[in-house]
Amino acid sequence: MERTLILLKPDAVQRGITGQLLTRFEQKGLQIVAMKLMQITPELAGKHYEAHKERPFYPGLVKFMTSSPVVALCLEGIDAINVCRNLMGKTNARESAPGTIRGDFGMSRSYNLVHGSDSPEAAAREIGLFFPEGVVKCNYSAVNWLYDPVEELKK
């Protein structure tokens, strides 16, 4: 199982579509192992986006991410990072395919509704930033109906 951080960004919260976006991840079969509504501080935004600190869009990104609460999620599943990134669609929502979150709900490159970790290393770092208290592990019975163990063992 792999874990990833998902942020339902301020535009998703303000538009009142967080439930619909969360449903997409759950319907795909990803398990929620941590979730909270939170206000990102400038300090947390700075740590989260430190790789972009020298980029011209950085100040606007921090301002946007601290402008309203977000819903932070840690999701778990086989190949969760790739699965979530496919569900989200391209960064520029106008270029995202129909059926993706950004393709169905977005119109902007900047206000693109959702963040997802882009690698296992980034996921571990980001989950630690947003859930320093850890995550909840439970016996998710649907897992037996999501994955074919014979197929998964071949990988």
Strands 70-77 and 114-116 turn out to be: unpaired
pLDDT bucket at 77, cuts 50 / 70 / 90: very high
Which pLDDT score is estimated for 78?
A: 94
Ranges of beta strands (E only) in the chain are 2-8, 31-38, 70-77, 114-116
CA 126 to chain centre: 10
Task: Name the CA radius of gyration of the chain, rounded.
Answer: 16
For the question of residue 115 being annotated catalytic, the response is yes
pTM summary value: 0.92
Active-site entry in 45, 77, 115, 131: 115
Q: What is the pLDDT of residues 129-150, one digit of tens each?
A: 999 999 998 887 888 888 887 7
Q: Are 44 and 129 in contact (CB under 8 A)?
A: yes
Length of the chain: 155
Q: Assess whether pLDDT exceeds 70 at residue 154.
A: no
**What domains are defined for the chain?**
2-153 (3.30.70.141)
